[in-house]
Amino acid sequence: QPFQDAADLCESLVFHEGHSNRLPLLGSIYMNMGIPLASIELLEESRQAFNKAVEVFTYLKENRRLSSQSRMLQIAYLNRSELDVMLGRYKKAIKGFHKALELNESSVKSHFPGNYKADRGNIKVHLAEAYMKAGQLGEAALELDEGLELLRKEHERTRDADCLAQLKWAESLKIRT
């Protein structure tokens, strides 16, 4: 309920009082609302929150030319696609992961070079999982290998704890042939 209250207040500020500078906050609220909803298995509600985050960040990126929002949009696509895997919607998940990779290659690479490779490795590993569950094992193996290589190199370079956690999870994935 606290996330919904915050979203309602922020929507009121944006849409009824003209405070469009609050749109990035609204997108973040929706994205952060989706995560706990998924963890308590309210998957459809979580997907709705991620959909709203994607809409807000897409609007900001396209209409306001806010390249700084490109990484948030990439993360929103990643989160929504992870949820689609949980829901068994593998085609939607694969499409969403590809959109996240597209954003990663274009905007994130140029505006967030420090996050680019770790983000890309993470997306590729999640894409591998979606391909595996969809029965596309060749694609799964390719994406997993590329994702693991990116994560290993980034962990060696940065020693970042989040990168290590993603790497450990990725190493646990087994492509079932």
Q: pLDDT for 152-173, tens place per residue? A: 999 999 998 888 998 999 999 8
The predicted model gives 113-127 an average pLDDT of 90
The predicted model gives 24-43 an average pLDDT of 89
The predicted model gives 138-164 an average pLDDT of 93
In this prediction the pTM is 0.81
Answer yes or no: are the C-beta atoms of 140 and 149 closer than 8 Å. Answer: no
Nearest Cα to Cα of residue 75 among 162, 138, 134: 162
Residue 66: its pLDDT value, please? 63
The predicted model gives 107-130 an average pLDDT of 86
42-68 pLDDT per residue, tens: 999 999 999 999 999 888 887 765 666
Residue 9: its pLDDT value, please? 83
Report the range of poorest mean pLDDT among 43-52, 79-88, 114-123.
114-123
Q: Is 177 exposed, middle or buried (0-12, 13-18, 19+ CB in 10 A)?
A: exposed
Residue 85: its pLDDT value, please? 96
Q: How confident is residue 134, by pLDDT bands cut at 50, 70 and 90? A: very high
Share the mean pLDDT of the chain. 88
**pLDDT at residue 15 above 80?**
no
The predicted model gives 118-137 an average pLDDT of 96
